[in-house]
Each structure stands twice: as structure tokens, then as C-alpha cells.
Amino acid sequence: MPNVVIVGTQWGDEGKGKIVDFLTQHADIIVRFQGGPNAGHTVVVGEKQTILHQIPSGILQPGKKCVIGNGVVIDIETLMKEIEEVRSQGYFKDDTALLISENAHLIMPYHKKIDISREKMKGKDKLGTTGRGIGPAYEDKVGRSGIRVIDIFDDDLFRNKLEDNLKEKNFYLQNYLNEEAFNTEEIFQQFSKYRDKIKNYICNTFLFLHESLNENKRILFEGAQGTMLDVDHGTYPFVTSSNTISAQASIGSGIGPKHLDAIVGISKAYTTRVGAGPFPTEQDNDTGNYLRDKGAEYGATTGRPRRCGWFDLVTVRHSIQINSITHLALTKLDVLSRLKTIKVCTGYKYMDEVLSGFPTDFSVLEKCTPVYDEVEGWDEDISSITRLKDMPEAAKNYIEYIENATGIPVIMVSVGSRRNQIITIKDPFET
């Protein structure tokens, strides 16, 4: 049975949560494989909006198994609040629906304090992190001093790791960041209470997933953030702290790449970005304000207004190559309605040269100006359209333009925020 990976092709906020929620009806298992509570997936069912930060979006569909993989860094405190909130909305009635990898690393209180304090010290040069402690948690993971979920169930091991970490963290907090130190016993007791509340969800998710493959279960891998925020392949240093690309679906879950059958790249019909960093097609003008207001472009995690601009073929082609994308899903096409003309960035001009690829040199990227092509817009409201053939001709032409320019078929088009406002051209599970 085919397995599908969902990734963002831009700087995140492409609408991955909605697409995952929609495709969950065809899947048995949904796996979150990277990132932490710095990601926010917004799903609208009826009139009810649900924002998920760590739990896979599939939790909103009954009868599914949702896995938080080893590649995720987990904030237990906010995870428990998220579980309570989802349940209060009438979802997640089956306790066995959520499985958490015992090898996932934990975001500790000192990680969040370090994250916030560093940004404060940088002032105008800050990176624009969410302050959720994700970066410092991944630092400890790579530095082999991280605390995993399984570690807090062994009192001696947990206490020893905590004591060793706090010797270094407290010195750094007090002597460099001018912050108060943490108390070992207080954190130990705090997490001892947490573990009792999450112990039923903890398991060896690697074994579960491989057993599921042997049973021909359909697995949907849910990425967070977007390709251009990938720590290796994005607009470094204005990136997140994990790998956001499709290859991480294997690493962050323990499933080999031969089991990844379809890679669906999610693209907005325009482009947005949250936080600092280069954004060649940004429209800091009436057009950008129009896109932001009509598209309700505010961060699901922080509420920060998103920077808005035209569709950028350079970044999307870059994402297609890095992720081996097989299909595209185009979201928020309805936001472009009422625009007489729509611009598409076809290349970057640097000095007297038009670059064909995405520049990795930050000093080059920040000096690039977009080269635009213009296509005809449409006046009609498309939010109630359910079939591609009923779209205005100009809207169909825009979709076809993107297909021709990328060489990748568009298989889904979202025309609104609700679950049913989506046009399916092809089911990626049927590839």
C-alpha cells in the first residue's frame, strides 16, 4: 500500500494541517516526524477551528493512529494542555489513538529560558524564533546531552542527567544571559508528575510502524514548517532547528526511504513568511496587506502577522528538487480572487544576471530582485466550487501555469479554510 509524505514547499504556513486532515480519511496512521510546538496546524471543521502544535492533525478523524516520532522535540506541559483542549472539542475519545516515541527528546524549562533570553540579547538582530525552546533542545540532542522521553521513567538516570545539564545551563544562564538558575529538584518533581500523565502513550513507535507496514497499513507522514526553513537547505540562519524536508520522514520515524511512495508538496497560491529573513517576492504595500487580510495571515503558534508576497517559482522548484516531490497541492487559491492581475516570480536577478536556481549564499540572496511574469486574474468567488471544471477560466489557467512551470501535477486545490472546501483531482494514495 502506498505511503504519503506531506511537506511545505515555502516558508511554512502553507496549509499542511488542512491537507493532512483531508487525506487522513484515506490513511490508517499519521506520523509527525520533526519540529516541536513551534509549528501550528490550523484545521477548520464546520464552524470550529482547532490549532494543533504537537499532536498530528489526524487526531481529528476517528479510528486513526497518530504517532509523534523520534524526530520531534516534545514539550510535555504544552502537550498535555493540547490533549485536554482537543478532548474538550469532542475529539480524541480513544486513548490508544496517540503513540509517542520513547526516543523523542524533551524540551526542558531551561531550553525555553535560554531561547527567549538569547533573542532578547540580540535585539534588532534576532532570528525571530517562537521562544518555545526548540533550538536549544535540538542543540542538546546533537550534543548528546539531551533528555529523552524514556529517560524520565528511570529516576536515577533522569536525576543524574538533569544535574549534569544544570551545572552547565545554570552557569550560562547566570553568567552570560543574566537570568536566574534552575533548581534540579523542582524540575525533577515537575517531570515526575508529567510522566504519570503521559505514560500510557509512550511506546517503541519504530516497532509499531514496521509492524503496520507488514500489515499493509497506509501511513501519512505530516511535516511541520516548510522547506525554506530547513536547517540545511533553507535560508540559513533564518531557519528552524530541524530538517523539514521529506528525507526527515524516514529519519524522524525509523521508516526506510523505500517505503515513501508519494511526496506531496503543499504550496500557497501566493507566498508568506513569518519572522526575519530574506523574502524576495514580499509585497510591503497594499497588495501585501490585501493578501494578509483576506487570507487571515497570522501565525497559528504566535499570532504574528505574516509577511505576504507573490508566488515564487524559484523557491518552489528548489523544494521540488530537494524533496523529490511527486505531486503539488495548491492552497488558498480563493484569496487571489478579485485581483485583476497576478504576478509570479520566475527568476531572481542578481546584478546583471538572472539566476536559474536558488542562491545559497545569503549575501547574494539579499541582493536579489524578483523577475515577474503576469497572468490574468478573476473576479468570481471560488470558495464554493467543488469541481475543477467549474473554476473560472483564469483560475484554471493559473493552476495550469504552475503545473507547466514546475513540471509537477497539481492534485488538490483548496478554496477555503473549511474541511470540505477542497477540490481533489487525484488521490495520492492511489499512485
The fraction of the chain above a pLDDT of 70, given in percent, is 96
Residue with the bigger pLDDT between 38 and 175: it is: 175
174: which residues sit within 8 A by CB, 6+ positions away? 180, 181
Q: How far is CA 113 from CA 139, 206, 397, in A?
A: 14, 32, 49
Q: Fold match between 105-198 and 267-430?
A: no
51 has a pLDDT exceeding 90: no
- Residue with grid cell 510522566, as numbered in its chain: 195
Least confident of 136-140, 218-222, 298-302: 298-302
pLDDT band at residue 284, thresholds of 50, 70 and 90? very high
44 has a pLDDT exceeding 80: no
pLDDT band at residue 41, thresholds of 50, 70 and 90? low
Q: Which CATH superfamily is domain 105-198 in?
A: Adenylosuccinate Synthetase, subunit A, domain 2 (1.10.300.10)
45 has a pLDDT exceeding 70: no
Residue with the bigger pLDDT between 125 and 242: it is: 242
18 has a pLDDT exceeding 90: no
Region 15-23: mean pLDDT is 88
Measured CA to CA, the distance from residue 413 to residue 336 in angstroms comes to 13
pLDDT band at residue 46, thresholds of 50, 70 and 90? low
Q: What is the mean pLDDT of the chain?
A: 92
Task: Judge whether 389 and 426 are in contact, CB under 8 Å.
Answer: no
Measured CA to CA, the distance from residue 166 to residue 170 in angstroms comes to 5
Q: How many other β-carbons are positioned within 10 Å of the β-carbon of residue 160?
A: 12
pLDDT value for 399 = 98
329 has a pLDDT exceeding 70: yes
pLDDT value for 47 = 63
Region 79-90: mean pLDDT is 90
- Residue with grid cell 521508516, as numbered in its chain: 255
67 has a pLDDT exceeding 70: yes
DSSP assignments along 3-72, one per residue: -EEEEESSSS-SSHHHHHHHHGGG-SEEEE-SB-TT--EEEEETTEEEEESSS-GGGGSTT-EEEE-TTB
162 has a pLDDT exceeding 90: yes
Q: Which CATH number fits domain 4-102+201-263: 3.30.2010.10, 3.30.70.100, 3.40.440.10, 1.10.10.10?
A: 3.40.440.10
42 has a pLDDT exceeding 70: no
What does pTM read for this prediction? 0.93
CATH class of 267-430: alpha beta
Boundaries of every domain in the chain: 4-102+201-263, 105-198, 267-430
Residue with the bigger pLDDT between 84 and 123: it is: 84
The fraction of the chain above a pLDDT of 90, given in percent, is 77
pLDDT value for 391 = 96
pLDDT value for 204 = 97
**Nearest Cα residue to 105 out of 78, 138, 56, 83:** 138
Joined together, the cell numbers standing for residue 367 give 541582493
283 has a pLDDT exceeding 70: yes
Catalytic positions are: 13, 41
pLDDT value for 50 = 74
pLDDT in tens, 367-387: 999 999 999 999 999 999 999
Region 138-158: mean pLDDT is 97
pLDDT value for 52 = 82
pLDDT in tens, 98-131: 999 999 999 999 999 999 998 888 777 666 677 7
